[in-house]
Amino acid sequence: MNPTCFPIRPLLLSVLLCASMPSQEGTPPNWEAVGAALGVAGKVLPDGTFRIDVPRTDPVLRNEFGFVVPPSMVLTYAAFSGTREKAIVIGDTCMLPEEVNPVLDALRKGNLEVVAIHNHMLGGNPNFIFLHFQGSGSALAMAKSIRSAWNEMGKTPPPAKPPARTPPKPDWQAVAEAMGMPGTLMADGIYKVALSRPQLGTAIDGQRLTAGVGLACWVGFAPCECGHTMIMGDTCLLRSELQQAIDGYRKQGIRIVAIHNHMLGTNPELIFCHFAAEGDAIELARAVKSVWAPLATADRR
């Protein structure tokens, strides 16, 4: 008998046994615990996606013409792909404006990425805002974080309009010093500060863009009849900077009001985060600076 045949037999037996066993990759994940964590059974789609849809029925939404919008058009959802241990989740949350930042905070606490905040219709009554999110990792852990975020809906009452007060008279030079950069007093009394970001080197279709096309962060300060200074602004960010900027603004009590793109096909990819707040002008300037300072430092490298 040829001795060289002996090693081949156990190897062949091993191959045959493996072929006869069911493939681990071919076994559909059991999503039951994930659905339980989200409080909705959900369903597995033909392509293997596990999806949970939660139509919003309260309050009743009407479009710009006053027609009732069916709840299934006003969806909150989460869709999981992959396995329970290594999943990707993509989702959307339908919210009243006062619910946006509490939901956002809960998602970020669970380390989920907030990727867009915008509207899905014009002139809805009441005004519904949609927040898109994504994440990767343990499906069960992400489901628990998403559930904690969804639990925030309905908790926050609409803000009461404050009584009219005398608008403040901010010291714009002091605001500039707090920001660490000069601003411009506009004709309508707005004090605007901008952080240009030409170092991002952004191009569209291979043609480099100059900063003046919108590659900048800006914030406008305005005396408000609420008795405080109002700020509104925008932040031009790389994807790698977005979540840090969101967390930074929220830590300072600044509301995130929109996240979206301003242009298509940019390289590197850009995203824009809009924000708003009311308060003391100097404190607000310091708060905005705390978010912008890392961006300015990165651009100087």
Sequence-separated (6 or more) residues with CB below 8 Å from residue 107: 114, 131, 133, 145, 146, 149
Give the end-to-end CA distance of the chain in Å, rounded to a whole number. Answer: 72
The C-alpha atoms of residue 269 and residue 204 are separated, in whole angstroms, by: 10
**68 vs 55: CA distance, rounded Å:** 14
CA-to-CA dists, residue 232 to 17, 41, 114, 217, angstroms: 66, 41, 20, 11
CA 292 – CA 137 distance, rounded (Å) = 30
Q: What is the pLDDT of residue 124?
A: 87
Contacts of 21 by beta carbon, 8 Å cutoff, 6+ apart: none
Vertex 91, ends 86 and 92: CA angle to 5°?
165
- State the Cα torsion 200-201-202-206 to the nearest 10°: -160
Strands (DSSP E) contained in the chain are 43-44, 50-55, 75-82, 87-95, 113-118, 129-137, 184-185, 191-196, 203-204, 207-208, 216-223, 229-238, 255-260, 266-267, 270-279
> What does the alpha-carbon distance between residue 178 and residue 283 come to, in Å, rounded to a whole number?
8
Tell me the C-alpha to C-alpha distance, in Å, between residue 139 and each of 29, 38, 85, 108, 148: 11, 11, 6, 16, 14
pLDDT of residue 259: 98
User: Cα 268 from chain centroid?
Assistant: 19
Q: Which two tokens stand for residue 275?
A: 């924000």
Domain with CATH 3.30.70 in the chain: 172-300
Tokens, residue 202: 């952004």
Side-chain half-sphere of 176: how many Cα atoms within 13 Å?
10
Residue 71, amino acid: P
CATH code that applies to domain 172-300: 3.30.70
Would you say how long the chain is, in residues?
A: 301
Which residues of the chain are modeled with pLDDT < 50?
1-25
Regarding pTM above 0.75, the answer is yes
Which pLDDT does position 207 carry in this prediction?
A: 93
**What pLDDT is recorded for position 17?**
34
* Helical ranges in the chain per DSSP H: 8-20, 32-38, 100-109, 139-150, 172-179, 239-251, 281-300
Question: C-alpha angle 144/42/108, rounded to 5°?
Answer: 30
Cross-strand partners of 275: 233, 256
